[in-house]
Structure 1
Amino acid sequence: MTRDPEPHRNLSVADPRILAAATALVSGDREVLAAIDAYLDQPPGERRAYVLADDQDGLVARAATLFDEHGWRRPATTRLSAAELRRVMQLVTAPRVGDDYLAKFRHDLGLDEPATVASDTRWDARIDVVVIGAGLSGLAMATRLDELNADYTILEKHEDVGGVWFENTYPGCGLDTHPHVYTWSFAPKNDWPSYYVKRHEMLGYLKDYATNRGLRERVRFGTEVQGAWYDEEQQRWHVHAVDSASGAAREYTVKVLITAVGTLNQPKPPDIPGLDAFAGEVFHTARWRHDVALEGKRIALIGNGSSGVQVAKALAELGEVTVFQRSPAWIKPRRVKAVDEQIAPELIWLLDELPYYGQLYRFALYWEYGDRMHPYLIKDPAWSGRGTNEASEQLRADLEKYIWEQTGGDAELAAKVTPQYPPYVKRMVIDNDWYKTLTKPNVTLVADRIVAADESGLRTADGGHHRADVIVVGTGFQAAKFLFPMEVRGRSGRTPGEIAGSSDDARAYLGITLPDFPNLFAIQGPNSSIGHGGGATFVGETQSHYVAEALKLMNAESIAEIECRQATCDAYNAELDKAMEQMVWTEEGVNSRYKNSTGRIVANHPWTLQQYWNMTRKPELDDFHVVRQRQALP
C-alpha cells in the first residue's frame, strides 16, 4: 500500500461506523469490539455519533494508531468469530440484520476462498458456449466464463460493448442510483468524478473493463441474433444471426446458449391514432436522433418515467416543451449528493487504500438502497392509511412535501403531479430537477390523455390541440416480452411465450432456466428484476454466478444436457406468486412495466436481495433432468 503523507486527513472524512468496522476487522482489538457492542446495545435514539471515541478526532486517532500497529495491511485471515463478525456487520447496516446476511457479508469482504476453477482445470471442449449480448450482464457472464477457462463466444449486435449504455444517447442520460452500487463488486471503480454518473462515463467504465479484461477478442460485433432452436438429436443449439450492417446470415452451433439481452432494449411505440400523419420528426428516447435540430422548436415530450424525467431538463434549455403525462409518478429526491457534487479525493483514498473500507462501504450501500427499503413494499392488511403500511405512509408524506417545495407552492401543478397510488407501485423515479423544470415559463404540463395525432400536433381527451414541431417519445420498453424480438425454440419446437400461452407471460426457475430448454440460461429472465433497490448489477452478478456453477457441474459430471424440471419451475413460481400477493406492485387499477397484459407481475421477484443471493449460490442437480455425455473424454 502506498502511504499517504497525511492519512489522518483522509480518515477524518470516513464514515464513523465504517471506519470503526474496518478497524475491528484489521486489528481484532478487544477494546474496539467492546466499544462496538456498547454502541449497538444503546437504544437507537440515544446512540452517540461515534463508536470508538467521543468525537471524530478521537476516532481518527484511535483508528490510526491501530492501523499503524498492523502496518496498514489487510490480515491474511480474520481474527473475529462469527458472533463478532455479525456485530461488525450490524454496525454498518442496522442491528436488526440477522445471521442470514452473514454469509454474503463474509463473501463481500473476501473472507472466503473464491469458488472458481483452478487455472489448470481441464475444460471439456464439447461444452462450448455462446452468450448473446455484451452489455452489463453479458460482460459479467463473460467474466465468470473466463474464470472457468470455458470455450465461449459473445454475439453482440452493436459495434461495441455496453448494451443500454451504448444505445441510449439522449441528453441527460445517466445513472439514477449510487455509482458505487451500480458497478460490479469484482471490478469496483472508486474514482467516479461525481455522484451523478453520466452515460458516457458509465459506457467508458464498461469499455475499459472489456479491454483490460481481454474480453473484446471473444466478441463478434455487428452480429444480431434473430433466433435459435434446440436440436435434440445432436444435443446442441443452432443459433441464427445476421450481420447488422449487411444482413448476411451467420450460423452457430453450440452446446450451451446464454441470453444476456436484458429487458430495456426494445422501445415500446405509443399507441396514438394518426401519428404517422405528423409532419415533424418522431423518435424514442432510446433511439435519439442527433441529426434533428431542437433549438427553438416546439417539442412534445410523451412520458414521465426515468428517461422522460432525465431528458426534460435538457429539452427545456433548447425550446418550448409540452410534457404529456398519462399518470403521475412518484419521484424521489437525490439522497446521495447534489447532481454535480464531486466525490472527495479523501473518500477515494479510503475506498482504494484502507483495508476493508471499500467492501464495507459497498455492503452498507446495498443495505441502505436495497433491503432497508423492502418493508416499504409489503402490504399490511391491517393498515387503513393511504400507503401500504406505516412506513409507506410516512414516505408518501415526505414525497408530497418534496413535491410542494419543488413546485414552489403551486397547488394546481402539485395536484397534477401527485400520484393517487402508494409509493413503489411503479418504479421509483429519481429526480433530475423534474418539478423545477415544469415550473419554467417555456414548459407546459398536460395531464389529459392523448387521443390522436395530426399533421401539426397532438389532440387530448379534453378537446385540446397541442402544436409541435418534434415529438419525443419516452414510453418505455417491451420489457414483458421475454427474449423479444428473438425467436428461441426449445425441445418441443415452441417458444417460451407459446408454452405460456402469451408472449408476455413466460415463467422460469429463478428467472434463469426453463423447462423444455436444455442447456439454455437467461440473465435478466422472467421475474428477475428488483423492485426495491440493488439494480441490474446485483441481478447480473448473482445469476451469472449461478450459471457458472451449473457449467462447472456439467464439466465435472460429464453432463451433455441439463434441463430444469417442470416440477421445480412450477413449485418456485407457486411460491413466487404467493409471496407476490403481499407486494405493493400488485395494486389494482395501475399499469406499470412490472405487469403483463393480464396484470401479472412478470418483471420483479418479491425476495430481498439476501434471499435471492442465497437462492442463486449453488444449483442442485435434483432440480434438473440430466443426461450424461455419451462418451467420456479420452
Structure 2
Amino acid sequence: MTDYVVPVTGWAAVDAEARLKAPIHAQRHVRILCVGAGASGLLMAYKLQRHFSNYSFQIYEKNQEVSGTWFENRYPGCACDVPAHTYTWSFEPKKDWSAVYAGSKEIYTYFNDFATKYGLRKFVKTRHEVAGAYWNHEKGGYDVHVKDLQSGQTITDHCAILINASGILNNWAWPAIPGLDKYKGTLLHTANWDDNVDLSGRHVGLIGNGSSGIQVLPQIQPITKKVTTFIREPTWVSPVQGLEQHVYSQEEHRDFETKPDVLTEYRKGIERGMNSQFGIFLKGSNINSETEAHFRQQMREKLQNPYLEERLIPDWHVGCRRLTPGIGYLESLGKPNVEVVYGEINEITERGCLCDNGKEYPVDVLICATGFNTSFKPRFPVVGPSGKNLQDVWANVAESYMGLAAADFPNYLIFLGPNCPIGNGPVLCAIECQADYMCKVIDRFQTHNIAQFAPKAEAISDFIAFKDRFMQNTVWQDPCRSWYKGAGPDGPVTALWPGSTLHYMEAMMELRLEDWDIKYAGNRFAWLGNGYSQTELDETADWAFYIREQDDDEPIARARRLRVLNKSGTVQPGSTMALLSGDAALSDGAKAPAIEMKL
C-alpha cells in the first residue's frame, strides 16, 4: 500500500490534533451522502443504523417515493426475472410472495415495507435530484449540488464520503430510431408507463423483445384488437429447469407463515439452485449444453412455427444475453391477433413503423420496450481532486475496482458498478456484500486518521486484465448484442463479475488495503492516540477478557473461517457440483470447473 501524507491544514489538522488526545481507534464524526433510495440505498441506511455511531447520513432521491426501479416500473406484466424468494435480503424474508416470479407491485411493497419497518425514511429526502459532486480541496470530501424538484432551488451539501446507489436499470431511454417525434399516435415507454392509456380494442405496436417486451406482450395481447411486435434479433426465452412459474397455494403460504424452518429451507433450496447455475455461463460445460438443449426444445414446443423458430432461437450460447423466463411470451406470439415483424425499423412515421422490408405498419399506440441507458458513467458530474469528471473518464469503457470504486476519485463508492455480479446469480446477496465492504471502509476511515482513500490505478488495470482473460472462457463473450457489453457485441464485458456470485462474496470478505491509495491527515499513527485502549474507557467491560479456561478463538486461517461461515459438512454432497463439466480437483479435494488461465 502506497501511503501519502496530506498537508496538515484546516479540518485535517483539527482531526489529527484531536486524535492525539483520544484513545486508540477513536470514532470521529463522519458525514456520508448517498444518491438514490432504491434497494441499495435503503440497505446502506439499514447497515449504518445497525452498526455505526457518531455519523450522519443523508439519501437524496429524485422520485417521490423510495424503492427505486420498483417504484418507477409499473408497465403491464412488470416482474422480476429471478425467483421472488431469492429477491429478498438474506436476513429479511417475505412470507407471502404470490408466486415464484412476483410482480413489480409486490416487490415495491417489499422494499417500501423494509423502509418502514426499520425507520429508514428519516434518512431520505425525496424529490431531490443530485446534479453534481465536486471535490473540495480545503475540506476534503465532496460538495454535492442537489436540486429540490419541488421548489426548483439548488442546495449544496458536503460529505466526507459519497456513495452512488443510483443503480443501472433506471435511466430509461427512447430508441435511437429516426422520426420518433413525428409519430401522431399514443407513444409509451415501458419505464415511463401512463396508467391512463387504455389499450382495449386498439392496434398496438410493441418494439423490443428484451425483458420488458417479453413481459408486456402476454398481458396486453388478450385485451387489444391487434399487436404488431417488432423484433430485430433472437433471444433465449424459457425458465431454467426447476425454476418454472408456480403460484403458491394457501397451504404453502400457511406453512411459510407458521413454520419458519420450512420457509428457510425453501429459500435455501432456491438459492442453492441459483448458485448452481454458474456453469451455464462457461463455454463447453455440460450444464450449458444441457440448458441450451432444454431451452431449444421448450421454445420450439411453445412457438410451433418454423418461421419464428428459425428467427427467434439464437445461434449463440445460452446466457450471452440475460436469461428471461418469459412466462407466456412465446405462446402469445402465435395468437391470431399478434403479428411478428422480424428485422430493423428504419424510421418512425406519423402512422407507425417503416421497416427494412419496405413496409409501413400503422398502429394506434406504439410501446417502446427498449430498456435503459446502461452506461456505468454517473448520471451527474463527479469531479475528483485532479479536476477530471468521471463521466468523461468512463465515456467509452468503464473500469472499476471490484465493481465499487474508481481510481483517482477518492472517498467515492458505488453500488453495482462495472464488473459486479449483476447477472451472475442471486443479486441482492451481492449488494449485501458490497454494503458490508463499504462499511468496513467507512469503519477504517472513521477510526484512523485517513483523509482520502481510492483504489490504485495499477490494481484496477490488473483486475481488468484478469477479467478480460476470464471472459474468453464464458458465453458472455459471444457476439450477441447485450447490455453486458457497453461497447457493442464484440466489445469487452463491462457489466459482469469474472466468476460466480459466491465467488464475488468470498472475494469481498476482507479489505485488500494493498490495492488502495491512502492519504493521511498528519502522522499516519495519530490514531494510536493518548495511549489508552477503548476497553479502559468502559467501566462495564471486563479488563481481563483475554484470560480463558480454553482456546475458543475463531479460526485465523481464511479456509477454516470460511468453513465455519458456510457451515461446511451440514449439506449432503452430490447434486450441485455434479452439474458442472470439466471438473478439476482442488488442493482440498473439492471440485470446480477447469478454466485455463494464462496471465
Q: Same fold (TM over 0.5)?
A: yes
Letter in 1 for 2:107: M
Q: For residue 32 of structure 2, what is the aligned residue in structure 1?
A: 129
- Determine whether 1:499 maps to 2:390: no
- Call closer, same or farther: CA 1:614–1:337 in 2, change over 3 Å: closer
- Determine whether 1:625 maps to 2:517: yes
- Asked if 1 retains the 8 angstrom alpha-carbon contact of 2:171 and 2:372, the reply is yes
- Asked if 2 retains the 8 angstrom alpha-carbon contact of 1:282 and 1:471, the reply is yes
Counterparts of 1:377 and 1:337 in 2: how far apart (Å)?
Answer: 17
Q: CA deviation at 1:626?
A: 1.8
Q: Secondary structure at the match of 1:476?
A: coil
Deviation string for 1:422-480 (max 9, x for gaps)? 11111111122001111111111111211111111111111111111111111121112
- Determine whether 1:523 maps to 2:429: no
Q: For residue 10 of structure 1, what is the aligned residue in structure 2?
A: none
Q: CA deviation at 1:348?
A: 5.5
Q: For residue 459 of structure 1, what is the aligned residue in structure 2?
A: 354
Q: For residue 283 of structure 1, what is the aligned residue in structure 2?
A: 188
Q: For residue 51 of structure 1, what is the aligned residue in structure 2?
A: none
- Determine whether 1:375 maps to 2:279: yes
- Asked if 2 retains the 8 angstrom alpha-carbon contact of 1:456 and 1:468, the reply is yes
| Selected match of 1:596 from 486, 490, 509 | 486
- Call closer, same or farther: CA 1:215–1:545 in 2, change over 3 Å: same
- Determine whether 1:398 maps to 2:304: no
- Call closer, same or farther: CA 1:301–1:463 in 2, change over 3 Å: same
Q: CA deviation at 1:128?
A: 0.7
- Determine whether 1:423 maps to 2:318: yes
Deviation string for 1:264-294 (max 9, x for gaps)? 1111321211221111122210001222232
- Asked if 1 retains the 8 angstrom alpha-carbon contact of 2:136 and 2:142, the reply is yes
Q: For residue 180 of structure 1, what is the aligned residue in structure 2?
A: 85
Q: For residue 143 of structure 1, what is the aligned residue in structure 2?
A: 46
Q: CA deviation at 1:137?
A: 1.0
Q: CA deviation at 1:592?
A: 0.8
Q: Secondary structure at the match of 1:429?
A: coil
Q: How does 1:549-568 map to 2 (within 5 A)?
A: 549-568=440-459
Q: How does 1:36-435 map to 2 (within 5 A)?
A: 123-125=27-29, 127-147=30-50, 148-149=52-53, 150-319=55-224, 320-333=226-239, 335=241, 339=245, 341-343=247-249, 345-346=251-252, 349=255, 353-355=259-261, 358-370=263-275, 372-380=276-284, 389-407=285-303, 409-435=304-330
- Call closer, same or farther: CA 1:228–1:544 in 2, change over 3 Å: same
Q: CA deviation at 1:251?
A: 1.3
Q: Secondary structure at the match of 1:191?
A: coil
> Percent sequence identity over matched residues?
30
Q: Secondary structure at the match of 1:428?
A: coil
Deviation string for 1:223-277 (max 9, x for gaps)? 0111111123311201111112332112111100000011111113212112211
Counterparts of 2:260 and 2:187 in 1: how far apart (Å)?
Answer: 51
Q: For residue 463 of structure 2, what is the aligned residue in structure 1?
A: 572
- Asked if 1 retains the 8 angstrom alpha-carbon contact of 2:400 and 2:460, the reply is yes
Q: For residue 341 of structure 2, what is the aligned residue in structure 1?
A: 446
Q: Secondary structure at the match of 2:318?
A: coil
Q: CA deviation at 1:122?
A: 6.8
Counterparts of 2:521 and 2:464 in 1: how far apart (Å)?
Answer: 30
Deviation string for 1:183-235 (max 9, x for gaps)? 00121112323323111111111111101101001101110111111123311
- Asked if 2 retains the 8 angstrom alpha-carbon contact of 1:334 and 1:431, the reply is no
Letter in 1 for 2:35: I
Q: CA RMSD in A?
A: 2.1
Q: Secondary structure at the match of 1:224?
A: strand
Letter in 1 for 2:139: Q
- Asked if 2 retains the 8 angstrom alpha-carbon contact of 1:155 and 1:224, the reply is yes
Q: Secondary structure at the match of 1:171?
A: coil
Counterparts of 2:468 and 2:244 in 1: how far apart (Å)?
Answer: 39
Counterparts of 1:247 and 1:394 in 2: how far apart (Å)?
Answer: 56
- Call closer, same or farther: CA 1:571–1:232 in 2, change over 3 Å: farther
Letter in 2 for 1:593: W
Deviation string for 1:336-368 (max 9, x for gaps)? 67646125545663676455x555443432221
- Asked if 1 retains the 8 angstrom alpha-carbon contact of 2:424 and 2:496, the reply is no
Letter in 2 for 1:324: F
Letter in 1 for 2:468: D
- Call closer, same or farther: CA 1:337–1:527 in 2, change over 3 Å: closer
Counterparts of 2:496 and 2:254 in 1: how far apart (Å)?
Answer: 34
Letter in 1 for 2:302: Q
Q: For residue 497 of structure 2, what is the aligned residue in structure 1?
A: 605
Letter in 2 for 1:541: E
- Call closer, same or farther: CA 1:610–1:247 in 2, change over 3 Å: same
Using CA pairs under 8 Å that are at least 6 residues apart, name the structure with larger relative contact order, 1 or 2. Answer: 2
Q: For residue 83 of structure 1, what is the aligned residue in structure 2?
A: none
Counterparts of 1:477 and 1:494 in 2: how far apart (Å)?
Answer: 26
Tell me whether 568-577 or 152-161 shows the greater mean CA deviation.
568-577
Structure 2 runs not aligned, ≥5 long: 1-24, 531-599
Counterparts of 1:444 and 1:403 in 2: how far apart (Å)?
Answer: 18
Tell me the TM-score normalised to structure 2 length: 0.79
Q: For residue 536 of structure 2, what is the aligned residue in structure 1?
A: none
Q: CA deviation at 1:138?
A: 0.9
Q: For residue 511 of structure 1, what is the aligned residue in structure 2?
A: 403
Counterparts of 1:570 and 1:362 in 2: how far apart (Å)?
Answer: 38
Deviation string for 1:479-522 (max 9, x for gaps)? 12322x2111112111224235xx14121111101111111100
- Asked if 1 retains the 8 angstrom alpha-carbon contact of 2:36 and 2:166, the reply is yes
Letter in 2 for 1:341: V
Letter in 1 for 2:293: A
Counterparts of 2:334 and 2:357 in 1: how far apart (Å)?
Answer: 22
Letter in 2 for 1:548: C
Higher helix share goes to which structure? 1
Q: CA deviation at 1:172?
A: 0.8
Counterparts of 2:245 and 2:447 in 1: how far apart (Å)?
Answer: 49
| Selected match of 1:470 from 355, 360, 365 | 365
Counterparts of 1:158 and 1:466 in 2: how far apart (Å)?
Answer: 36
Q: Secondary structure at the match of 2:58?
A: strand
Letter in 2 for 1:206: F
- Asked if 1 retains the 8 angstrom alpha-carbon contact of 2:177 and 2:345, the reply is yes
Counterparts of 1:123 and 1:299 in 2: how far apart (Å)?
Answer: 60
Counterparts of 1:563 and 1:268 in 2: how far apart (Å)?
Answer: 32
- Determine whether 1:487 maps to 2:386: no
Tell me the TM-score normalised to structure 1 length: 0.75
- Asked if 2 retains the 8 angstrom alpha-carbon contact of 1:195 and 1:336, the reply is no
Counterparts of 2:520 and 2:320 in 1: how far apart (Å)?
Answer: 46
- Asked if 2 retains the 8 angstrom alpha-carbon contact of 1:226 and 1:242, the reply is yes
Q: CA deviation at 1:416?
A: 2.7
Q: For residue 584 of structure 2, what is the aligned residue in structure 1?
A: none
Counterparts of 2:258 and 2:418 in 1: how far apart (Å)?
Answer: 36
